[in-house]
Structures are given as structure tokens and as C-alpha cells.
């Protein structure tokens, strides 16, 4: 590796995670985001010799990444969750609707891909900022990313660059080659639109907090032990379940429990591994096959509050999705 190559890697590699988070917020797909981060680094490498330092390297990379995202967004519509397509299903006893392959679905992002976790055993010499970690988690929560998809690409980009990433109006104006007044106008329209489509803010719990971990354990135990009472205790009265990949979702604890009763099976049918996605507690889900092994089905992401679980978003994807979380595609049967 040449000295120039080493310098490029040294200066740009520490920004990879935050660039992935930015592209994910823009696109709603971690796969697309990863591809565009790679494209960003390729474009940056090709132009690195002409980089004159008129802006910071971080600003320069964000300009490249944002423009790549805007180009990608021109090719398709917004990504959604089932609740963004219509009202809740009225009959939880009916089978979920067929997979809607024509819909571009919002996908989850593993926390580990976009944050530098601070170990619980970290001492006072650890220089990572907990506030910065919490800010990243907040900015990739499913409800916010889903709401961002309603904004036109330019509005989405300006809102994220200004209010999530903290770039000045002047810096954003330079990225897009427009006036500062234009950036302020776009930001104003983006805020107004987000207020229209974003759900009311809830008092969500950080996934590392004891109560959040307890709710996740209770949810997992409910499935693994086929314990409907445990699930009823964990869910809030206004809880919802979304089945990504279909247009089906349910609202209200009683309705959700009627649906869960159909899928919970017998003790041992389900196996779940705790993880984190979108700054929220999550569980990788496995179901017992006829051969007795547990095969990966997908990931369930929980929205948790001090009063219980308010939403369960179920993402299919099988072994491929579960592998993104660093987890195996199957588990042997338990004795």
C-alpha cells in the first residue's frame, strides 16, 4: 500500500459507520446503504488527489454520499412499513395477507453496524461519548426512518444534514451549490412535512436500560415457553404488531394476543436470540423444523416504553438477515 493510500484509509475509515447510518436514514435499506458507502469511498479515492481541504474531509465525504443517495432515490419510491399502507387488519384469526412483492419495504439495521458500543465494563478513560451514542440510536429508530421516507429526497437530505448531523446552513448550501436562504427554506418545508407524518414522540427506553432488557427477556420467554400470559403482561394496551413483507398489521393488545395465539405453538417451537436493531431491543427468531433444528426466520424489533412494549415489527429475511447481526442460520435441537 502506498503512502497516499495509507493516508486515505487512515483519514476516511473512522467515518464509515456514521456514513452508513446516514445512507440508511436516507434510503431505509441497509443493503443499499452499504453499497452506496462503498461507492462513496470509491468516488472519494478517485478524487482524493484533487481534494484541496476547502472543507473538512468529513464534509466532503458527506457531500459525495448524499449526492449518491439522491441519485439512487430518483430510481424508486419510498420504503414503507405495513402501517404506512393502510389501516390495521380487523380479523387476527384470518391468515396474514400474501407477500406484497411490489412494495419497497423498510429494513432494519443492526446497531453494531452504525454505532461504536460502549462496554458496560468501560472505565473513566473510555473517551467515547454516551450522548453521541444515544443520538445515533435515536436517529435510526424505525418510527423516524419510516417518517423520513415521506420527504422528497432533497428535503430528507437537508433535514438530516442540519438537524441530525449538525452541519451549518452554510456547509449544507456549499454541498448542494445553493444559497443559505434556499437551505433554510427547504429545511422549513421538511420540518412541516415531518410534523404531518411522524407519530407523536414517545418516551422510549434505551435498549441497554434494565427495564428494556427485562421486557425483551419477557418477550423471548413468552415465545420459547408458549406463555401467552407473559406476552400479555409485556404488551401495552395500545400495542401493535407489523408483519413486514405483507400489508398486514394489528393494533390493540387484545387483537395482537389473538394473532400471537395462532403462531406461538408449543414450548420449544421457538428459539430467540437477543440483539439490537435501530437503537431498539430486538430478537433474532428461529423456528423448529421437522428435523428438530431451529432455522432462522428473521428479526423482531421492539419499541419499548416505561409502560411496556408498544410495537413489534417483524422482519422476514431468514438466514441472510440474521447473518447481518452476526448470528448463525440455525441452532441444533435442545434436549
141-199, pLDDT tens digit by residue?
999 999 999 999 999 999 999 999 999 999 999 999 999 999 999 999 999 999 888 77
Each residue's pLDDT tens digit, 117-151: 534 443 433 344 445 545 677 889 999 999 999 99
Kindly report the CATH number assigned to the domain that includes residue 40. Answer: 1.10.1740.10
Q: Cα–Cα distances in Å, from 18 out to 15, 86, 165?
A: 6, 33, 9
Question: What's 309's domain CATH number?
Answer: 3.10.450.50
Domain end position, chosen among 75, 96, 119 = 75
Is there a domain that residue 309 lies in? yes
∠ CA 62-63-64, rounded to 5°: 90
* Average pLDDT of the segment spanning 202-208: 79
pTM listed for this prediction: 0.91
Q: Which residue has the higher pLDDT, 52 or 59?
A: 59
pLDDT for the residue numbered 127: 41
pLDDT band (50, 70, 90) for residue 201: low
**Domain end among 75, 91, 119:** 75
CA angle 76, 81, 85 (to 5 degrees): 80
Q: Is residue 138 part of a domain?
A: no
pLDDT in tens, 239-284: 999 999 999 999 999 999 999 999 999 999 999 999 999 999 999 9
Give the contacts of 65 (CB within 8 A, at least 6 positions apart). 19, 22, 23, 36, 37, 40
Whether 285 maps to a domain, the answer reads: yes
Report yes or no on 183 lying in a domain: no
Domain annotation covers residue 181: no
Task: Find all residues with CB under 8 Å of 95, minimum gap 6, and list them.
Answer: none
Residue 286 CB: number of other CB atoms within 10 A?
A: 25
254 touches 116 (CB < 8 A) = no
Residues 66 and 37: their CA atoms lie apart, in Å, by 10
In tens, the pLDDT along 206-232 reads 888 999 999 999 999 999 999 999 999
242, part of any domain: yes
Number of H helices, E strands in the chain: 14, 7
Give the pLDDT mean for 38-61.
87
d(CA 140, CA 150): 15
Task: Give Cα 160 distance to the centre of its chain.
Answer: 15
| Neighbouring-strand partners of residue 115 | none
- Strand 249-251 vs strand 330-331: parallel, antiparallel, or unpaired? unpaired
Using the 3D structure, point to which of 75, 99, 132 is the last residue of a domain. 75
Structure-block grid coordinates of residue 313: 415489527
Beta strands in the chain (DSSP E): 235-243, 249-251, 270-277, 280-288, 294-305, 308-316, 330-331
- For 228, 229, 244, 252, 270, the CA distances from 222, given in Å and listed in that order, are 6, 8, 21, 18, 10
- How many domains does one find in the chain? 2
The residue range of the domain holding 20 is 1-75
Is residue 40 domain-resident?
Answer: yes
Amino acid at each position: 500500500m502506498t503512502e497516499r493510500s495509507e493516508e486515505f484509509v487512515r483519514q476516511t475509515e473512522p467515518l464509515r459507520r456514521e456514513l452508513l447510518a446516514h445512507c440508511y436514514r436516507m434510503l431505509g435499506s441497509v443493503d443499499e446503504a452499504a453499497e452506496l458507502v462503498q461507492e462513496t469511498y470509491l468516488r472519494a479515492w478517485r478524487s482524493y488527489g484533487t481534494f484541496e481541504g476547502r472543507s473538512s474531509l468529513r464534509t466532503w465525504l458527506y457531500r459525495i454520499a448524499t449526492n449518491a443517495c439522491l441519485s439512487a432515490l430518483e430510481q424508486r419510491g419510498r420504503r414503507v412499513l405495513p402501517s404506512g399502507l393502510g389501516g390495521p387488519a380487523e380479523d387476527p384469526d384470518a391468515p396474514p395477507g400474501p407477500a406484497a412483492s411490489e412494495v419497497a419495504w423498510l429494513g432494519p439495521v443492526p446497531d453494531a453496524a452504525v454505532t461504536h458500543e460502549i462496554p458496560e465494563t468501560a472505565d473513566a478513560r473510555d473517551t467515547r461519548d454516551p450522548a453521541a451514542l444515544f443520538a445515533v440510536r435515536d436517529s435510526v429508530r424505525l418510527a423516524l426512518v419510516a417518517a423520513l421516507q415521506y420527504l422528497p429526497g432533497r428535503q430528507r437530505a437537508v433535514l438530516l444534514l442540519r438537524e441530525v448531523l449538525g452541519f451549518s446552513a452554510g456547509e449544507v448550501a456549499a454541498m448542494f451549490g445553493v444559497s443559505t436562504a434556499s437551505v433554510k427554506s427547504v429545511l422549513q418545508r421538511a420540518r412541516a412535512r415531518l410534523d404531518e407524518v411522524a407519530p407523536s414522540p414517545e418516551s422510549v427506553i434505551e435498549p441497554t436500560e434494565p427495564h428494556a432488557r427485562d421486557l425483551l427477556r419477557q418477550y423471548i420467554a413468552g415465545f420459547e415457553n408458549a406463555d401467552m400470559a407473559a406476552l400479555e403482561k409485556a404488551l401495552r394496551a395500545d400495542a401493535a404488531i407489523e408483519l413486514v413483507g405483507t400489508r398486514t398489521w394489528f393494533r390493540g393488545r387484545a387483537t395482537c394476543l389473538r394473532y400471537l395465539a395462532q403462531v406461538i405453538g408449543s414450548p420449544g417451537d421457538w428459539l430467540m436470540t437477543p440483539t439490537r436493531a435501530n437503537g431498539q431491543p430486538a430478537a433474532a427468531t428461529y423456528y423448529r423444523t421437522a428435523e428438530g433444528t431451529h432455522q432462522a426466520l428473521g428479526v423482531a424489533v421492539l419499541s419499548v416504553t416505561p409502560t411496556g412494549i408498544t410495537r413489534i415489527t417483524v422482519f422476514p429475511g431468514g438466514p441472510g438477515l440474521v447473518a447481518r447481526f452476526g448470528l448463525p442460520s440455525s441452532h441444533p435441537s435442545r434436549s
